[in-house]
Structure 1
Amino acid sequence: MKTTIHKLDDGSDALILPREMLDSLNLQSGDQLQIIETDHGIILRPVADRFERQMKAAREVMD
């Protein structure tokens, strides 16, 4: 999957993730991602507190 880095009006740059990727990863606007640089590229991962909130919600549904 490809995407492009865009220049914003305030002069900063933004990486826009495709909607289908956001949907499949259950991410939404405002969620925080951790960026990890590796020898093979980068890894984007949701910040742990969001995962923990999702797990808590899942447990509540299962009870």
Structure 2
Amino acid sequence: MVTLKITTVGASSGFILPKEAIARMKLKKGDSVYLTEAPDGYRLTPYDPDFERQMKIAEAVMHDDREILRALSK
């Protein structure tokens, strides 16, 4: 577990991720992280939850319409 402390960042408030957390999340300067609600609180992740949702929809369409997509590819 990593404890983060809220601090002043310019005119805003924020927290600083330890370098170990940044390395584990494979982040680099300029990357975005997403704070999402989870059943037991909140989750901080480098993965865009909207993109994940869109990919699941795309996979379902590709599976359901595979014959149409195959015909269109010819």
TM-score, scaled to structure 1: 0.61
Relative contact order: is structure 1 or structure 2 higher (C-alpha 8 Å, sep ≥ 6)? 1
Judged with a 3 Å threshold, the aligned counterparts in structure 2 of structure 1 residues 30 and 41 are, in CA distance, closer, same or farther, namely same
Structure showing the higher strand proportion among its residues = 1
Corresponding residue for residue 51 of structure 1 = none
Q: How much is the aligned-residue C-alpha RMSD, in angstroms? A: 1.5
Q: Which residue of 2 aligns with 1:58?
A: none
Gaps of 5+ in 1: 49-63
CA distance in 2, matches of 1:40, 1:9: 31
User: What is the aligned residue count?
Assistant: 47
TM-score by length of 2: 0.53
Percent identity, aligned pairs only, is 28
**Runs (4+) of structure 1 moved beyond 3 Å?**
none
Segments of structure 2 that go 5 or more residues without pairing to the other structure are 49-74
